[in-house]
Chain A
Amino acid sequence: MREYTRFLQRCFRLSFVGTKLYKFWMLFLSVVALIGLNAWAKQAVGGLATTGMTDQVSWGLYIANFTFLVGMAAAAVMLVIPVYVYKNKDLHDLVIFGELLAVAAVTMCLMFIMADMGRPDRGLHLFMRFNWPISVLTWDVIVLNGYLALNLHICGYLIWCAYNERKPGKAFYIPFVFLAIFWAFSIHTVTAFLYSGLGGRPFWNSAVLAPRFLASAFAAGPAFLVLTLLVINRFTKYDVPRAALQTLRGIITVALTINMFLLGCEVFTEFYTDSTHAASAHYLFEGLGGKHALVPWIWTAIALNTFALVVLYSPFKRRVVFYAPACGAMIVGIWIEKGMGLIVPGFIPTPLGEVFEYVPTLNETLVCFGIWAAGLLLFTILVRVTIPVLSGELTKNKLYSTDSFS
């Protein structure tokens, strides 16, 4: 136990140590996170009226980001599956980064949910009268927290073993890894069911929503990991195997293709049928009743995704200068498509046909940035601590020299 506290202590101190660039990155994230915290405090005092949400559009940026981040978290398994199911060696050492991303993403999800709740002070009611299994939201609470626990356990165990210069005992983590694989599908499926189970919202009430969620998640998540790995490769001594990046590229390409295909299916069904249920889709893609706030966004998303897809199928796909921007474009594209492009139009028009637009307020946007910054801060620290431990530079018996970190 004493050893464990010491380990945590060392990790904590380690997170303050690094190059100048690292420190400025951390400073930047802290500043943004603090500004977000300040904005959240204002929201706590003024109520959710400080956000752009209304009775007409009762979920906004928070839930949009939440949805996107659930996908990011679920995508961690896209590294795990090849390694443990297909015994792909290239990715083996990278699995842990996927799981760290999952931890950070789920944490952000929980923060977004907290920010979205009208009465976070009553969170305790969840423990006292839990409407399970009727409410899909309770399922989501369980799967998200369970997923967080699973990933914390797997990462924590692996790191702890490396720190103690032990070989991880298979029985202590392999079963959990397989559980996490199923669990990852469940978090995203359940989150999709949150929306697709609502008969009163035809835009969401579609069976293709869950597959779409999974496909987009399995594109955006690994894309984010690729960017992280490129950064790690560039700024640390840790050497990311090239082959791993290429394996990820394969996954991303397939997932993005499926995602675009499913989106096409939805668009076809909505517009060819052209029943009154297509009103939300009309609003999203071309505007409705003189309102078209989302139109430029969704077309940007489609352009970004198309760009990424073209790059991924082109002969340049192996070159980082093309590959990395494609990943970036895809992340942004999917964020728009799945966040803003899915949540907001579900409310427009309202079930009574009122076309009422949603525009996020500055305060709300700051809270979102703050949560992202806090999440990235967590992710950076986790990665920062993990690298030296995994590479055997920081162990129980080794003093770690900060100078070696550059």
Chain B
Amino acid sequence: MLARPSTRRNFLRSGVQVVAGMGAFVSALKPLADFDVDTLGGVEGFLQKHYKEMSADDMKASLARIESDVKRRFDVDVVARDIKPVDGVEFVYALNLSRCVGCRKCVHACVQENNQSRSPEIQYIRVLEMPKGTLDIEKGNHHYDRPTVPDEDHFYMPIQCHQCDDPPCTKVCPVEATWTEPDGITVVDYDWCIGCRYCEAACPYWARRFNFAEPTIPKEELIAKKDAAEAKGEQLEVNYLSNRPRPVGVVEKCTFCLHRTREGKMPACLEVCPVGARKFGNILDSTSEVAQILKTKRVFVLKEELGTNPRFFYYFDERYPQDSSQKSFEGMPGMPEITRTHGASKGEPK
């Protein structure tokens, strides 16, 4: 066909070239040999439908897959559930900035409750140490590491997903992998997200996290959780839209612990808050704590000018809670000596 005479030698030579080229191509893909298809959810995961399109049977199959997936990854037996929103309930969070002392206990309780990856580290709550005199969060320090808190010069501002009524994050998702539920909680279908991270760019509160690597949770910590649950006569549960261990390459976020709150419980961050700065409840019930706070306190939301209409309110008390000179209790009888009980251990968990 081509004008150049295709002699046999020529043909052979170009054959060798082509083979060498193909060889290089195939060997370039060699890293894929280490690839574990299970991390992506296998065939079943691949064929699974969108959360809103699943029938009861589909959901059952999916939950069974989640259970065996957790077993495979962490060697722990769990019960997977899909708890639905309750009618007549819309969740609202309120946080008392006059009370928060910035101890970050909520951050770590959340990690435990929601099975976030420990390394690379994923946390839903960020506590900002704010210099007194400003409410501009750009002035806050995320990395304060003093042995004890609060510091007299600062106040503390925890920030997590604000469960916006007008969420910019769900708007941008190309595949509707994230949406707002009737009870006001913005959720992610971890089995539908394609990992484009557009929502992460869109969220004005930096509330979304991406699983850059396969999330790791130390097995012992899951077992400790299971033991604790069994001691209470319960099983270790995980929930489809919230705290089940996530696959790699998808986005996740705070869900106000919907697996707890939809069953009437308080979120984990609230339960552990030692100062009672966190308040949670049903805003449609006018007697609830949050309704009372919205009625009686002067509340504000972050970045109100963006029109996101958050379900997360901050408020203050009338006066500063205490005279700072009262606080030098150190060495007084009955005062606990504060040493940090946590340390950092090197390396990779699991």
Contacts and interface: CB of A to CB of B under 8 A. Distances in A.
Contact of B201 (A51, A138, A347): A347
Given A200-B202, A353-B140, A53 B212 contact: yes
A2 to B, nearest CB: 14
B195 interface: yes
Given A41-B32, A129-B192, A353 B139 contact: yes
A48 B40 CA distance: 14
Given A117-B194, A137-B172, A354 B142 contact: yes
Interface string A116-156: 11111111011011110011111001000000000000000
Contact of B197 (A34, A59, A123, A399): A59
A55 interface: yes
Nearest to B174: A137
A51 B248 CA distance: 14
A94 B177 CA distance: 44
Name which of B171, B209, B303 has the most chain A CB atoms within 10 A of its CB: B171
A200 to B, nearest CB: 3
A338 B201 CA distance: 17
Given A17-B4, A200-B168, A118 B194 contact: yes
A37 B25 contact: yes
Contacts of B25: 34, 37
B307 interface: yes
B28 A34 contact: yes
B2 to A, nearest CB: 6
B250 A119 contact: yes
A140 to B, nearest CB: 9
Interface in A38-95: 38, 41-42, 44-49, 51, 53-56, 58-59
A47 B249 contact: yes
A198 B201 CA distance: 8
A350 interface: yes
B61 interface: no
B173 A41 contact: no
Contacts of B193: 118-119, 122
B307 A199 contact: yes
Contacts of A58: 197, 200-201, 210
A276 B138 contact: yes
A319 interface: no
Contacts of A17: 2, 4
Contact of B214 (A47, A125, A138): A47
A118 B190 CA distance: 12
A248 B176 CA distance: 43
Contacts of B40: 119, 121
Interface residues of A, number: 67
Contacts, number: 197
Contacts of B209: 55
A352 interface: yes
Contacts of A117: 194-196, 249
Contacts of A49: 120, 212-213
B50 A129 contact: yes
Contacts of B168: 198-200
Nearest to A136: B172
A353 B128 CA distance: 9
A49 B21 CA distance: 30
B1 A13 contact: yes
Contacts of B4: 17, 401-403
B32 to A, nearest CB: 5
Contacts of A136: 172
B137 interface: yes
Contact of A200 (B46, B136, B159, B306): B306
A118 B209 CA distance: 12
B32 A47 contact: no
Interface string A258-277: 00000000000000000010
Contacts of A38: 28-31
A135 B171 contact: yes
B292 interface: no
B31 A41 contact: yes
Interface in B155-201: 159, 168, 171-177, 192-198, 200-201
Contact of A137 (B2, B196, B205, B248): B196
Interface in B31-52: 31-32, 34-35, 40, 46, 50
A194 B9 CA distance: 55
A47 B34 contact: no
Nearest to B178: A131
Interface in B81-118: none
Contacts of A249: none
B275 interface: no
A118 B2 contact: no
B176 A131 contact: yes
B206 interface: yes
A178 interface: no
B294 interface: no
A235 interface: no
B201 A59 contact: yes
A118 B24 contact: no
Contacts of B173: 131, 135, 137
Interface string B14-29: 1000000100110011
A135 B174 contact: yes
A337 B82 CA distance: 47
A402 B3 contact: yes
Name which of A45, A56, A117 has the most chain B CB atoms within 10 A of its CB: A45
A98 B90 CA distance: 55
A391 B1 CA distance: 19
A401 B128 CA distance: 72
B203 interface: yes
A200 B203 contact: yes
Given A45-B34, A58-B201, A118 B192 contact: no
Nearest to B305: A199
B195 A352 contact: no
Nearest to A134: B171
B196 A30 contact: no
B311 interface: no
B194 A352 contact: no
Contact of A403 (B3, B50, B122): B3
B71 to A, nearest CB: 22
A125 to B, nearest CB: 4
Which 6 interchain pairs have the tightest Cβ spacing? A118-B195, A200-B204, A118-B249, A353-B138, A49-B213, A49-B212
Interface of B: 1-4, 14, 21, 24-25, 28-32, 34-35, 40, 46, 50, 53, 120, 122, 126, 128, 136-140, 142, 159, 168, 171-177, 192-198, 200-206, 208-214, 248-251, 303, 306-308
11 contacts: A48-B195, A48-B210, A55-B209, A117-B194, A117-B196, A138-B174, A346-B201, A351-B204, A352-B206, A354-B206, A402-B2
Given A118-B197, A126-B175, A198-B201, 8 more contacts: A37-B28, A44-B32, A47-B249, A122-B175, A131-B176, A137-B196, A352-B140, A402-B4
